[in-house]
Amino acid sequence: MQNVEAQIEALQSQIAAMDKKIPSNKISMIVFSGEMDKVLAAFVIATGAVAMGMDVVMFFTFWGTPILRDKTKKAGGKDTMGKMFGAMLPKGTPDVKLSKMNMGGMGTAMMKSLMKKKNVASLDQMMEMAEEFGVQIFVCEMSMDLMGFKREEMIDYSGLSYCGVATFLEQANDSRIQLFI
Amino acid sequence: MSEEIRIEKVMDLKGLPCPMPILKVNKGIKEVEVGQVIEVWSTDPGSLSDFPSWARTRGHEILKTDQNGEVTKFYIKRLV
């Protein structure tokens, strides 16, 4: 009898351990790219995933980081390199270009007008919806530092915070889907 | 003979491309009670594949799909 109880106990702890291994109904995305088409795809997947009942976390790093700058905000106290990067990199969604067929900005302008004509949501609209849906955004602290971005020049987004690689890995480990865009 | 489906709410999503139909319908279904039916109009060809995927994942039932020209009408019952 005692033997059976011990066995049940062992089984219960095994089940508890297995439960921990089952990832949440969550999708983790790394947004590494900074081009309009790629980031738009990331937000279409993010908002779609919420509709499918999933939690969504997006990690912005390297060229994805400038997308989250706010064109209307200014940040002081930058060194020369920071100022250079700040001037050369896109300042938020209005500055982003297509990854292909940009043609000196003409392609991007044409794509934007085509999207409007065909009722396709703009990057700004998608980001607004993502915020409304509770999509969490993490920004890579190392990219911020490297490019000299300050927190006060980033967009107002209710689910935005700053992190390092461990935060992403913890979230990715607990996600059913992981994407690198 | 055929039982009349009682429609609680009609959503006109004509002209909206992906991903809007799914985002809107996911919001709209929450505005009716469990067991009630919504009627959704979509012109997005992707909806024919997307609505069943969404319904299966969220546990809702598509009672009927009427395709008439460009517009497809979906009758979706909220189950959860």
Is A138 in contact with A163 (CB distance < 8 Å)?
Answer: yes
pLDDT band at B4 (very low <50, low <70, confident <90, very high): confident
The full set of domain ranges for chain A reads 24-180
Chain A residues whose CB is inside 8 A of the B51 CB are none
**Could you identify the residue written with the tokens 């509709």?**
A51
Q: At what angle do helices B20-28 and B47-58 cross, to 10 degrees?
A: 40
Q: Specify if B6 maps to a domain.
A: no
**Could you identify the residue written with the tokens 């008439």?**
B68
CA-to-CA distance for B52 and A134, rounded, in angstroms?
24
Q: What is the ipTM of this complex?
A: 0.87
Q: Specify if B39 maps to a domain.
A: yes
Domain count of chain B?
1
The pLDDT tens digits along chain A (181 residues) read 778 999 999 999 999 988 888 999 999 999 999 999 999 999 999 999 999 999 999 999 999 999 999 999 988 888 998 888 888 999 999 899 999 999 999 999 999 999 999 999 999 999 999 999 999 999 999 999 999 999 999 999 998 999 999 999 999 999 999 999 9
Which helix (H) or strand (E) element contains residue B67? strand B61-68
For residue A115, give how far its alpha carbon lies from the nearest alpha carbon of chain B (Å).
Answer: 10
Q: Specify if B33 maps to a domain.
A: yes
pLDDT at A9: 93
CA-to-CA distance for A181 and B55, rounded, in angstroms?
27
Which of A40, A47, A52 to probe the B interface (max B CBs under 10 A)?
A52
Catalytic member of B7, B18, B20, B23: B18
Out of 3.40.30.10, 1.20.120.450, 3.40.50.1110, 3.40.1260.10, which CATH number does the structure's domain A24-180 have? 3.40.1260.10
Q: Specify if B10 maps to a domain.
A: no
Is B18 marked active-site?
yes
For residue range B5-54, list pLDDT tens digits in order: 899 999 999 999 999 999 999 999 999 999 999 999 999 999 999 999 99
CA of B27: which chain A residue's CA is closest?
A: A51
Q: Does B67 reach chain A within 8 Å, measured CB to CB?
A: no
CA of B54: which chain A residue's CA is closest?
A: A52
Instruction: Specify which residues B58 forms β-bridges with.
Output: none
**Could you identify the residue written with the tokens 């938020």?**
A92
Instruction: Specify which residues B74 forms β-bridges with.
Output: B40, B65
What average pLDDT score do residues B68-78 get?
Answer: 95
The enclosing domain of B61 has a CATH number of 3.30.110.40
Q: Specify if B31 maps to a domain.
A: yes
For residue A169, give how far its alpha carbon lies from the nearest alpha carbon of chain B (Å).
Answer: 26
Q: Specify if B37 maps to a domain.
A: yes
For residue A16, give how far its alpha carbon lies from the nearest alpha carbon of chain B (Å).
Answer: 26
Chain B residues whose CB is inside 8 A of the A55 CB are none
β-strands B71-77, B61-68 pairing? antiparallel
Residue B48 lies in domain: 24-77
Query: For residue B1, is pLDDT > 60?
Result: no
> Is the Cβ pair B54, A121 closer than 8 Å?
no
Smallest CA-to-CA distance from A141 within A132, A150, A153 is with A150
pLDDT at A19: 84
Q: Specify if B8 maps to a domain.
A: no
Q: Does B54 reach chain A within 8 Å, measured CB to CB?
A: yes
Q: Does B18 reach chain A within 8 Å, measured CB to CB?
A: yes
pLDDT at A148: 93
Which of B18, B20, B58 to probe the A interface (max A CBs under 10 A)?
B20
Q: Specify if B52 maps to a domain.
A: yes
